[in-house]
Amino acid sequence: MNFEFITPDFNLLLQSMRLDDAVAAAREAEKIISGNEIDWEDLYKGADQHCVKPQLSQLIGQSSSVKIPSDFRERLNDAHRQNIFSQLSYVDDFFKVRNFLEDAGIQIIPFKGFWMAHEAYGNMADRESLDVDVFVSLKDLESIKELMLENGYKEESSFTKLTIEEIKRGFQEYNFDWIEGDTSRFHIEFHWGICPPGYGMGIRLEDLGSKIIHERFNGQEISVFNPDAHLLLVLMHHGGKDRFIQLKQVSDIAHILKKCEDIDWKWVISEAKRFDAELIVYVGANLAATLTGVKIPVQIRDKTESKKIDRLAKNRILSMMRPHNKWYNAGFNYNNWLFRMRTRTGFGTRLKITAASGKEVLMKLKSAASHN
């Protein structure tokens, strides 16, 4: 792919994500810094927007260039240190919740978050996250609510006036916070699918039962998804729900591909097809290879390298390059809607997505009008 359209700032972010050759990445970063006027504030905001501050911190740490302001270095280092503190705190809170739910017979499986950082990245400091995502069974939702409230957690405001049946119909996640003062110190999201129901990604914990394994983590046994299921959920979440708008989302896929060479692609593709999401798998793999240098698995290479997938991947890169102050404007949202439509198959699914998108826009307009 031709990278001539990429700005120096964004190119530095890309070099920080490379997994194929760290020495070459550092060398290229030196050339970018020495040959361009870098807006360091914009670069930091870009790293923050894409949740890749740990990666940029490591890349900048390899450079001795006097052009890099000392306060910029320190700001990145502080963010990197704060991230490990946050992740360790989230782990402690996860186990507290996991323990009292499992004592009540409720299965809870983490995905993304701290487990992704530990298992795929190899270091919890190297992946940013702001919450903990877990998969649960829909049948346990009422008990989860009772136990979370009983143990001092608060429902996210979106859910406080809804019944459990309304939550089941309108969402595929149910969120709680641990509040200290006026601030949420810990946020946990209970999923029984990906995206709101209208977007057609209602994969259930029961569908993934054969892919649950047991590992040791933080001195305790923990039930987690194997790499096949974890990769599928990450692709569905990052590509289907979020539509690949952050570099961190691509980095997640790349780290799994690099570490896990024995992915059961037949199963992943079969499950993705079941939810009309096969193209999302190929776009995710294409982005991972293009932006980080990981190899595309031979089992999916032909489709991943097709012209159609290349076009879709380039569209995502162009979207990711948008300045932070131009995210979520009308053009950005419209382009994301087009990407969602182009990567989902099946007339029924596309019809549901159109209806769900229209409903989402109307809700935003009503919300904006109520605040005027």
CA–CA distance, 50 with 53 (Å, rounded to integer): 8
40 and 321 Cβ atoms separated by less than 8 Å: no
Q: What is the pLDDT of residues 83-103, one digit of tens each?
A: 999 999 999 999 999 999 999
| pTM tops 0.85, yes or no | yes
The CATH number corresponding to 8-370 among 3.30.460.40, 3.90.550.10, 3.40.1280.10, 2.60.120.10 equals: 3.30.460.40
Distance CA(133)–CA(115), nearest Å, equals: 10
In 3D, which of 310, 302, 107 has the Cα closest to residue 223? 107
pLDDT in tens, 316-341: 999 999 887 888 888 888 899 999 99
**For the purposes of burial, counting CB atoms within 10 Å of the CB of 242, is it exposed (0-12), middle (13-18) or buried (19 or more)?**
middle
Give me the pLDDT at residue 244, please.
Answer: 97
Q: Would you place residue 24 in the very low, low, confident or very high pLDDT band (cuts 50, 70, 90)?
A: very high
Q: Which two tokens stand for residue 103?
A: 């004592």
Q: How far apart are CA 217 and CA 252, in angstroms?
A: 20
Residue 138 neighbours by CB under 8 Å, 6+ apart: 168, 192, 204
How far is 17 from 353, CA to CA, in rounded Å?
A: 32
* Six token digits for residue 146: 């009772």
Res. 117: pLDDT tops 50: yes
**Nearest alpha-carbon partner for 203 in 261, 267, 157, 246:** 267
- Three-class DSSP category at 1: coil
pLDDT value at position 362?
Answer: 65
d(CA 72, CA 33): 13
Distance CA 120, CA 129 (A): 14
Give the SS3 label for residue 155: strand
Question: Confidence band (pLDDT; 50, 70, 90) for 133?
Answer: very high
- Two tokens, residue 115: 């487990």
Torsions phi, psi for 192 (to 5 deg): -130, 20
pLDDT of residue 116: 96
354: confidence class by pLDDT, cuts 50, 70, 90: confident
H or E element, residue 117: none
What b/e sequence results for 120-139 when a residue is b if at least 16 CB atoms lie within 10 Å of its CB, and e otherwise?
A: bbeebbbbbbeebbbbbbbe
Domain ranges of the chain: 8-370
Nearby residues of 245 by Cβ (< 8 Å), 6 or more positions away: 316, 319, 320, 327, 336
3-state SS of the chain: helix, strand, coil percent to 5? 65, 10, 25
**pLDDT for res 1:** 45
pLDDT in tens, 171-213: 999 999 999 988 999 999 999 999 989 899 999 999 999 999 9
CA dihedral 194, 197, 198, 204 (to 10 degrees): 60
**DSSP category for residue 121:** I
- The neighbour count for residue 314, using CB atoms within 10 Å, is 16
Residue 15 binned pLDDT confidence (cut-offs 50, 70, 90) = very high
Average pLDDT, the chain: 93
